[in-house]
């Protein structure tokens, strides 16, 4: 199954405008285009010249936006690999991801978020004879923790959540907390901005490093900077995109991608690192 990108060009422009608190009128003046043209861009009308003018006014990479608008870019599909499983479920009008990471030797596993329904995750763990020891939450938004009581009951996994976003029954953790899972190491990085305590988990010990990033970063985009746009940008740049290029990024919505792809093709970050 190919998972579509979470955001289109209009979504990205809207997130940047809201984050920078730039009105259509202000943006029109900065970019030397009409307010009507900006509204059309947000609605999905592709106008290359307008996009080339609007992008720098919002601190966005124009080439990456054009690639997205014309459908020229989609992250290369990451095939199923030992030690990593993605589970995509529907939550109201959106699709949300949850993940399993496991040590192929010991079969000890960690679940990251629950999605809307953890049934497929539990079936997979049972089929693969995985023992879910940990349930690690990226943040407390309802689409990511919707099936937590069931996942905890079915697996017996110990639940941890970011200290800034308490979740009933979960032990709060701070940045820098480390977990050992068989031969795997799991490091925690505070990547807040979209939410108050957003946490990313960096796993080493598999064939390639893996970063479970929640809504901090999406393929080609990022979560809205609902709490702090500036900190969302900075944390993604400093704590995720400085990882090795081959690192697999597992976002809360949309397809998996890699650090290398995002450094080149993410409209918020291309050319900045």
Q: Tens digit of pLDDT per residue, the chain (273 long)? A: 689 999 999 999 999 999 999 999 999 999 999 999 999 999 989 999 999 999 999 999 999 999 999 999 999 998 778 899 999 999 999 999 999 999 999 999 999 999 999 999 999 999 999 999 999 999 999 999 999 999 999 999 999 999 999 999 999 999 999 999 999 999 999 999 999 999 999 999 999 999 999 999 999 999 999 999 999 999 999 999 999 999 999 999 999 999 999 999 999 999 998
Per-residue pLDDT, 122: 98
Tell me the fold of 84-265.
Answer: Metallo-beta-lactamase; Chain A (3.60.15)
Contacts of residue 93, defined as CB under 8 A and 6 or more positions apart, other chains included, come to none
Quick one: which H or E segment has residue 248?
A: strand 248-251
Identify whether the C-beta of residue 41 lies closer than 8 Å to the C-beta of residue 50. yes
Which among 110, 108, 104, 114 has a CA at the least distance from the CA of 83?
104
Per-residue pLDDT, 2: 82
| Cβ atoms within 10 Å, residue 131 | 15
Show me where the domains of the chain are located.
9-70, 84-265
Q: How far apart are CA 260 and CA 262, in angstroms?
A: 6
Q: What is the dihedral of CA 262, 266, 271, 273, to 10 degrees?
A: -40
Per-residue pLDDT, 51: 95
| Cβ atoms within 10 Å, residue 24 | 15
Tell me the fold of 9-70.
Answer: 434 Repressor (Amino-terminal Domain) (1.10.260)
DSSP three-state, residue 265: helix
| Cβ atoms within 10 Å, residue 3 | 18
Per-residue pLDDT, 61: 97
Q: How far apart are CA 172 and CA 159, in angstroms?
A: 9
């Amino acid at each position: 199954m190919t998972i579509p990108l979470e955001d289109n060009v209009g979504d990205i422009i809207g997130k940047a405008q809201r984050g920078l608190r730039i009105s259509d009128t202000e943006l029109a003046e900065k970019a030397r285009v009409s307010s009507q043209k900006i509204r059309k861009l947000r609605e999905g009308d592709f106008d290359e010249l307008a996009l080339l003018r609007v992008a720098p006014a919002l601190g966005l990479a124009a080439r990456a936006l054009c690639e997205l608008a014309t459908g020229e870019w989609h992250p290369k599909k990451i095939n199923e690999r030992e030690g990593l499983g993605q589970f995509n479920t529907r939550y109201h009008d959106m699709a949300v991801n949850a993940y399993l990471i496991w040590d192929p030797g010991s079969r000890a596993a960690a679940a990251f978020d629950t999605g809307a329904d953890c049934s497929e995750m539990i079936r997979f763990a049972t089929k693969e004879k995985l023992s879910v020891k940990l349930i690690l939450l990226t943040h407390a938004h309802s689409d990511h923790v919707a099936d937590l009581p069931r996942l905890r009951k079915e697996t017996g996994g110990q639940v941890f959540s970011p200290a800034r976003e308490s979740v009933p029954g979960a032990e709060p953790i701070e940045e820098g907390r480390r977990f050992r899972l068989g031969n795997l190491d799991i490091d925690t990085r505070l990547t807040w901005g979209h939410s108050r305590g957003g946490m990313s988990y960096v796993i080493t010990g598999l064939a390639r490093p893996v970063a479970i990033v929640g809504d901090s970063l999406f393929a080609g985009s990022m979560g809205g900077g609902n709490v702090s746009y500036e900190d969302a940008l900075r944390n993604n740049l400093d704590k995720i995109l400085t990882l090795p290029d081959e690192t697999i990024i597992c976002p809360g919505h949309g397809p998996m991608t890699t650090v290398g792809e995002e450094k080149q093709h993410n409209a918020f970050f291309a050319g900045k690192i």
